[in-house]
A = this chain, B = another copy of it.
Amino acid sequence: MSFELHSDLKRDGIPMGEFALCHVLLINDATYPWFVLVPKRNNVKDTINLTQKDHEQLWLESRIFSTAIMDIFDGQKLNVAALGNVTPQLHIHHIVRYDNDPAWPGPIWGKHPLKPYSDDATKNILRLLEQADIGGFSTL
């Protein structure tokens, strides 16, 4: 069975590229540099439902991607979270935080409505990811 993104992730996420295991989406909210990694595996709700090998690969990709976005966006703090109480397809949030962002120091979820990016802003982020030459990651 081929992998298909959940409709919630299709609605809120802009595809940026992929690793061996995970799709990478930019959440369409210009308030924060906010990405999700989505393992290309069906019927997986929690990180522990992944096989041991996929679990290791997920956190390796998370580490590589996190390091890149903290560098690209000059982040002060990184938030990494697998919640998924609303959207049942496993997705791992990676959010670059600043002490002057609108939700600081709280978590970002449910605080503010999503503020869509302009097309130019989205293209710019895609370009930044491309230029960063992130190991194992291919942009779309």
Contact = CB atoms under 8 A, between A and B. Distances in A.
Interface stretch (A35-43, A105-113, A126-134): A105-113
A117 to B, nearest CB: 23
Nearest to A95: B83
Interface residues of A toward B: which range? 20 to 34
A62 B109 CA distance: 23
Interface of A: 45-48, 52, 55-56, 59-60, 62-63, 66-67, 70, 77-86, 97, 104-107, 109-110
Q: How many copies of this chain does one complex carry?
A: 2
B85 A83 contact: no
B81 A80 contact: yes
A contact patch SS: mixed
A91 to B, nearest CB: 12
A50 B86 CA distance: 30
A55 B63 contact: yes
Contacts of A110: 106-107
25 contacts: A45-B77, A46-B66, A46-B77, A46-B78, A47-B63, A48-B66, A48-B67, A48-B70, A52-B63, A55-B63, A56-B56, A56-B59, A56-B60, A77-B85, A78-B82, A79-B81, A79-B82, A79-B83, A79-B84, A79-B85, A85-B97, A85-B104, A85-B105, A85-B106, A107-B110
